[in-house]
Amino acid sequence: MSSSPISTCENYDVVVLGAGYAGLMAALRLGRRRLGLRVALINAEEQFVERVRLQETMVAPVKPRIASLSAYLARTPVAFIQARALSLDPARNRINIEANGSTREVGFTQLIYALGSHVDADNAPGASQHTFRLDPGEGPRSAAALRAALHRFAGRPARVLAVGGGPLSIEAAGEVKSTWPDMDVTLVSATRAGDFTSEKVQAVLRRDLARLGVTLVDDERVGEITANEVVTATGRRFPHDICIWAAGMRAPSIARQGGLEVDAQDRVVVGTDLRSVSHPSILAVGDSAHPNGPTGAPFRPSALTAAVSGVYAAEQAVARVVGKTIRPFSFSTFAQAIAIGQFAALFPLDSNDNPILFVMGGRAARRLRDILVWLVLHFMTFERLLPGVQTWPGQKRATAPLVGEAESNGSAALPGYQRRRS
């Protein structure tokens, strides 16, 4: 179906708000024609943004692998509406959207809230005014603006600070130093860079950062950022020409402003069924969700977790329509990979998301990591071609399909559906 006309107000059985990994996967899952549901996907941009590749856009524009969501969804029953969400009214089941200078409301019976997250630049004085973030779009502090700034300093020993210590800051620091080895790149961490996982993984991350020539500064919490320096809580000062801020993520404020129960990062608080605890007609997925109960492995930001939570939310939406019941969301992925410029750290995980067996580093890990990123998108496209069929080989502790659904419609359950956490 082609894009819905913005001038016409319509009501839908299910509206998916946001077309990231979680939202697009939810919409594709709802694209089974036999369901007869009226489904709309609302997104501000026409193209699909692969968030896990944003650090690559610091160097050069990355050609989108899905350049047009309207074309991608053209052969599905899902209506694509390119518009920006302005506000949410859960009491009336309405979303206020804006496109091409005009506003209107879209009604829903159920909503899948999938607006993702952005780098939180409000958690330190001066961060919003004086730092760049790995956020999509063309804003003055976006990844695209950061690329322009880096190219202006190319060939000079510019001082680049990356602040955070987690995966996003590690990827940013590694990408800059791999591309511009003459730049002086420093990674400032409030704790210890790479300590978000095991000591074995941390050792590989720090080793490869050191191989690139990135200076690591541990246990320094940033207190203030100015136009040309970062001041820590202990009084240390780090001059910079470019500062990349990656110290925390935050979901959009629309849910909080609409009256939904949210956490400190504005993520919608949901039960293990991914339904809002305050407004059950709304489901939240991916980085926009904060489950208040066990979900198998910890519910952390990842493309795969987002996509699977989108599938689960779609099944929950269908379950309410057909009067079925499905088990709580429970999922763990098999591996995690963190890019470090030309290198990467890749490691398998157990069912509790703990690193096991080995850690692969270096260039081979980066090549394998890029393949895995491509596969996530490939699996989404397979869902578009065969709605209702999940294709996550070896998935562990996966979410359950509708009770009796797979048997009745002939669709295949994900490998691993029967290996649930007890």
Bridge partners of 43, per DSSP, are 82
Residue 403 above 60 pLDDT? no
Measured distance CA(99)–CA(106) in Å, rounded: 12
Compute the mean pLDDT over every residue in the chain, rounded to the nearest whole number: 85
Q: Give the pLDDT of residue 51.
A: 85
Of the given ranges (5-9, 216-220, 256-260, 335-339), which has the lowest mean pLDDT?
5-9
pLDDT in tens, 224-278: 999 999 999 999 999 999 999 998 889 999 999 999 999 999 999 999 999 999 9
pLDDT in tens, 66-108: 889 999 998 888 999 999 999 999 999 999 999 888 999 999 9
**CATH assignment, 119-248:** 3.50.50.60
Judge contact between 320 and 38, C-beta under 8 A: no
Domain boundaries of the chain, sorted by first residue: 11-117+251-409, 119-248
Q: Give the pLDDT of residue 189.
A: 92
Q: Which helix (H) or strand (E) holds 201?
A: helix 199-212
Measured distance CA(311)–CA(390) in Å, rounded: 8
The three-state DSSP-derived secondary structure of 356-393 is: CCCCECHHHHHHHHHHHHHHHHHHHHHHHHCCCCCCCC
Bridge partners of 276, per DSSP, are 270
pLDDT (mean) for 278-284: 96
For domain 11-117+251-409, give the fold.
FAD/NAD(P)-binding domain (3.50.50)
Instruction: Say whether 119-248 and 11-117+251-409 share the same fold.
Output: yes
DSSP per-residue string spanning 49-112: P-GGGGGGGGTSPPPPSS--HHHHTTTSSEEEEE-EEEEEETTTTEEEEEETTEEEEEEEEEEE
Judge contact between 284 and 262, C-beta under 8 A: no
- Banded model confidence at residue 401, pLDDT cuts 50, 70, 90: very low
Q: Which helix (H) or strand (E) holds 160?
A: strand 159-164
Per DSSP, which regions of 226-293 are E strands?
229-232, 237-239, 242-245, 249-250, 268-270, 282-284, 289-291
Q: Give the pLDDT of residue 94.
A: 94
- Banded model confidence at residue 298, pLDDT cuts 50, 70, 90: confident
Q: Give the pLDDT of residue 388.
A: 66
Residue 412 above 70 pLDDT? no
Measured distance CA(80)–CA(46) in Å, rounded: 9
Residue 389 above 70 pLDDT? no
- Banded model confidence at residue 399, pLDDT cuts 50, 70, 90: very low
